[in-house]
Structure 1
Amino acid sequence: MTLSPEEQAKQDLAEATMELSMLASNLRQSGGLQSSLLGTQLGFTGTGQEAEERPAKYSKDLNKGPAGKGRGANGGLKRHYQPRGNQAARETGTSSTGLVLSPETIQMLIKLLLRHEDQLATFRLSTAWVFFLSAEKPVEILETLFATATQWRHQKLNDPASLKNPMRVILFQATWKEMYTRAENIRTKEDAKQTAVDMGIYDEAKGFPYQIWNPKERKAQTDETRDPLPLDKVLALTAELMKLAAGNGVITRYHCTRPLTEEMKGTMTTWLMEVGLRDARCNRIWEILSILKGNASMKLIGGAVREERLQRTPLAQTLAQQLTRQHESVCCN
């Protein structure tokens, strides 16, 4: 039996997000979270476990896979570097093996590291994006991402063979699944559509407008130079992102800049995302994110995206500052 293009697209999406659906099903069976009013209207899935049922040992660093360690720029959130280890040994230039390094050698090493950092920052311009996801109700999706990460970790410990995608891929898919669901509800539910209209992010006749920041009025305003994205286009793009992300080598990084916990503090979270370079799917993901950048549809999940900027990581900035201070101190003496 030959499937229609629409049916084939739905089947492909279901296959690509099979693991995400399995995790969501397991979460529902264990008891889901109550969603907010707006989340209900826009399609917040509410999959998760009640606070007392969530194992405390999964409350830290759930944003990373078993071997993933964050690195790179933070896209606006300032992270403070805290030295670890034997501080006294570092001050004398003595390594753990007893090798004594002269101040001149240490300075050369720092300069070399900073050159490498600058080269990596240039490289990230071709691979990295920064996501901003609201931590405020009713639009936040962080509860869903936390619950998904918790279930993924539980599944990894108890039935690792059932997982073929790393956590970063699952969380990336979960992000767009939330947006897809809320966009779909605008088409199928009158209250969801009215909520989006009241938020100023959707026009039934035109779709989702592009927005730019007005610094004088300190608010977003419609960008009249760009045509809005129709609802069907947003649905197609988010579905394509979920399908493209499946497998290894495509999404090489996707995590929050701070530990993903059940109750995230603050009003906004920053997520770092990178794509690979050896797959045509990576280029297509970049193209789609470029289309969604600045579009009001991202506000369905309280989000925004932009490309990474040419900047040093917080640790590299700290090293550069220390090097400058040492140089000034030597000059003054």
Structure 2
Amino acid sequence: TDPQDELAQFFGEVQTEPMGGGGEPATNGDGLLRATTTARHDEEIKILKQDHSIVMFLRPGENQMLSHLYNTAKLFKQKQQANPTWAPGQQPLKLVMAVAMFTKLGVRLEKTCSDEALAKKVQELGWRDPTVGWKFQYWNNNLRCLQEDTTRTPLTDQAIAQHLKKLVEVLGQPDVVHRFACTRRMSDTMESTATFLLDLTTRTPASLEAWHSLQALQGCTLLQLGGMAYKKESFKPSPAIQKLKEMIRGL
């Protein structure tokens, strides 16, 4: 597979399945009202999600974060079944997986910075400059490659470690992670990029702390250590809602 195609798939736009069902759209007053209400409701939900919802993209591979999350979930369920009174087993799996992800990223950060060979490798890849820290990146659609985002100041190892520590701490608290799940069934043979949805609650100060750290790390090359990337929930309507809006305008 062409590496450029893999990157484009990994950082490309996520499309949702169009609504099912056949037949002609309703053209009467009730149908128009329902369609308008549905479109408006979708817009309101997306506006709300701008401040607490993340779309994550995880690459497949034995040493990538996707594999780590699958193994974490598998081991967690095995321990739950073997011992129903196991204390950690009383926690929601979404919480366990979210904490496991950022814990693993912290371990990889520490290992990379302390291992001369790994530090040299990430420098050659253009991810980290030992004099300033981890760079930010963006996907250039015209050039079909990743480029350094010079509008953002690189993050030092210490700054990133603090953000990761904060995420592990606050995401492990009750009522912070509302949802963390893959959009398709996970398996140990996943061969394509997986999409995860992370929603934080809006009811606790801890959620705001987590959101701050998530935004600070978004686009940072440090995430490449786990084969992952993420962005805020897009305000762009889904293909189904876009089609619905076009139908309304045509009535």
The TM-score bracket by the shorter chain reads: 0.7 to 0.9
Quote the Cα distance in structure 2 between the aligned partners of 1:156 and 1:128.
29
Same amino acid, percent of matched pairs = 21
Counterpart of 1:271 in structure 2 is: 196
Q: Which of 115, 118, 141 is equivalent to 2:65?
A: 141
Is the Cα contact below 8 Å between 1:201 and 1:296 reproduced in 2? yes
Is 1:255 aligned with 2:181?
yes
Quote the Cα distance in structure 1 between the aligned partners of 2:23 and 2:147.
52
Structure 1 unaligned residues grouped into runs of 5+: 1-74, 93-100
Q: Which of 209, 234, 240 is equivalent to 1:309?
A: 234
Quote the Cα distance in structure 1 between the aligned partners of 2:49 and 2:138.
25
Q: Which of 130, 148, 152 is equivalent to 2:76?
A: 152
Quote the Cα distance in structure 1 between the aligned partners of 2:32 and 2:77.
42
User: How far apart are residue 132 of structure 1 and its match?
Assistant: 1.7
Quote the Cα distance in structure 2 between the aligned partners of 1:76 and 1:215.
11
Is the Cα contact below 8 Å between 2:64 and 2:226 reproduced in 1? yes
Is the Cα contact below 8 Å between 1:79 and 1:314 reproduced in 2? yes
Is the Cα contact below 8 Å between 2:53 and 2:199 reproduced in 1? yes
Distance 1:249 1:317, change over 3 A: farther
Counterpart of 1:79 in structure 2 is: 16
**3-state SS in 2 of match to 1:300:** helix
TM-score using structure 2 length = 0.81
Quote the Cα distance in structure 1 between the aligned partners of 2:100 and 2:228.
13
Structure 2 unaligned residues grouped into runs of 5+: 1-11
Instruction: Identify which of structures 1 and 2 has the higher relative contact order when contacts are C-alpha pairs closer than 8 Å and 6+ apart.
Output: 2
RMSD: 2.9
Q: Which has the larger share of strand?
A: 2
| Letter aligned with residue 186 of structure 2 | L
| Letter aligned with residue 247 of structure 2 | T
User: How far apart are residue 195 of structure 1 and its match?
Assistant: 2.5
**Bigger mean CA offset, 196-205 vs 167-176:** 196-205
Is 1:127 aligned with 2:52?
yes
Is the Cα contact below 8 Å between 2:19 and 2:240 reproduced in 1? no
Count of aligned pairs between the two proteins: 238
Is 1:164 aligned with 2:101?
no
User: How far apart are residue 290 of structure 1 and its match?
Assistant: 1.3
